[in-house]
Amino acid sequence: MKLYNSLTHKEEEFVPNEAGKVAMYTCGPTVYHFAHIGNLRSYIMEDVLEKYMRYAGYDVKRVMNITDVGHLTSDGDTGDDKMLKGAKREHKTVMEIADFYTKAFFADCAKLNIKTPDVVEPATHCIDEFIKVISSLLEKDYAYEAGGNIYFDTSKLDKYYVFGDLAEEDLEVGVREGVEEDGNKRNKADFVLWFTKSKFDDQELKWESPWGLGYPGWHIECSCISMKHLGERLDIHCGGIDNQFPHHTNEIAQSEAFLGHKWCNYWFHVHHLNTTSGKMSKSKGEFLTVSLLEEKGYDPLVYRFFCLQSHYRKSLVFSWENLDNAKQAYEKLTARAAALVKESKGAAPDQAAFDKLKAGFTAAMDDDINTSNAVTAVYDVLKADTDADTKLAALADFDKVLSLGIVDKAKELAAGSSAEIPSEVMELLEQRREARAAKDFALADELRDKIAMLGYAVRETRQGTEITKI
Ligand code: AMP
Ligand code: ZN
């Protein structure tokens, strides 16, 4: 399997530390609000990566944190505490907010067929681990105390900007426009490991530490939670591309300073979901959630399909028109699979034909998780010169990774539509689908009335078009 490694800026053959096993870490959500569909693009693509590794035979252990303390709005050491901001907005405690949005996050993940990682650990459960690592960094002189806070001293490293995709001057925290400089830092790039001098008098969550009552910085959370569950050597670390700096850069700095050796070999970064006016982000106020997609009549799996149609290393532009195109394609796909279900004789697949189809799929996925080509491999199944049972077996096999629910949906459709529906009605249904796609709703309504006169009711549901006998 070839994977692009952000650390080396190259596609590389993936070779884990221990043969057959993968230690995988993912930066989890900051649970101060609902996840937006941009955040979920990252989690969908990471889910595909994990599932493909399992499909390829690896024994994967995947760990994810829940950021419930320490993440400031600047991603660095300045700005508001995101959790506190959420609590104030909703007149609740930080822990109530964390609990509510953690559940909401996993509910959204379930709707998108995103598997829950093997270990999910909230940062607030690991204070002792943070204190242990920070104490060690102080002992080794990689950290210092200034103005009440504990900082990591980036000047002690040979190389701090390890990802190096961007110019250093664009990256330095504390010199970016609109961000005030922290006079306590020895070097501009230094970052906080532990805050005791909170600029927020109302900071709710504080813990005793050797340096006084305080709370951890966001970056130390991921290093410690990863080491706690995955040990000293990580195979792969995932996150959205915006996490590369400062978050992942700081994670590497402090983890390797603490461990005294290389920490993680592969870095997998998912590029952003953008709107036509830029990156989708919560700070801009309006953002799209899974619930909103559902309210507008979209099956969440249509959004998953939309994401898989593009490669994770390309930014993806969201528009309703693009989503509508994905919806049409997804419905066509499930309808074609439903026809296969009807044709199926329940026979064993033709092994040679199945292997050939599977080879197309694995070639796409081995090529840096090229889901766009993997979707093409799904279409290749439909076009293939083989029987329905072989095709269904291939679709079910690919879906272990893609999790688009194609075969399940096809079975539902086949059971719902069944042979009883006259071809005349099916023809009108197809014309109505085309009219809706062309946004000719007057014609679509006319066609629905015609269908009703033939004794069938048409209804749009989250799962797609439903047809029932009146
Ligand atoms: P947060 O909850 O802000 O910590 O972000 C959760 C994850 O979503 C992180 O891995 C981010 O890098 C990622 N992320 C944030 N915005 C976007 C976006 N517009 N598109 C894709 N991923 C994003
Ligand atoms: Zn992280």
Ligand 1 atom index nearest CA of 29: 2
| CB-ligand 1 contact for 156 (6 Å cutoff) | no
Residue where the block lists tokens 């590369």: 244
pLDDT for the residue 106: 97
**pLDDT greater than 80 at residue 232:** yes
∠ CA 252-45-99, rounded to 5°: 75
Question: Is 2-270 assigned to CATH 1.20.140.10?
Answer: no
- CA–CA separation, 158 and 438 (whole Å): 59
Residue whose CA lies nearest to ligand 1 atom number 3? 30
- CA–CA separation, 45 and 51 (whole Å): 10
Query: 356: which 2 tokens?
Result: 């050939």
pLDDT for the residue 419: 53
Mean pLDDT of 412-425: 76
Q: Tally Cβ neighbours within 10 Å of residue 325.
A: 14
Global pTM exceeds 0.85: yes
Cis peptide before 246 (omega within 30 of 0): yes
Based on its alpha-carbon atoms, the radius of gyration of the chain, rounded to whole angstroms, reads 25
Nearest ligand atom owner, CA of 248: 2
Asked if 215 and 194 touch (Cβ cutoff 8 Å), the reply is yes
Strand partners, 24: 62, 236
The burial of 42, by beta-carbon neighbours within 10 Å (0-12 exposed, 13-18 middle, 19 or more buried), is given as buried
Q: How confident is the model at residue 179 (pLDDT cuts 50, 70, 90)?
A: very low
Q: Where are the beta strands (DSSP E) in 143-275?
A: 143-146, 149-152, 191-195, 215-216, 234-240, 264-270, 273-275
Q: How confident is the model at residue 281 (pLDDT cuts 50, 70, 90)?
A: confident
Residue whose CA lies nearest to ligand 1 atom number 8? 39
| CB-ligand 1 contact for 288 (6 Å cutoff) | no
Least confident of 30-34, 60-64, 264-268, 387-391: 30-34
Nearest ligand atom owner, CA of 271: 1
SS3 256: helix
Contacts of 227 by beta carbon, 8 Å cutoff, 6+ apart: 129, 133, 255, 259
- CA–CA separation, 29 and 36 (whole Å): 10
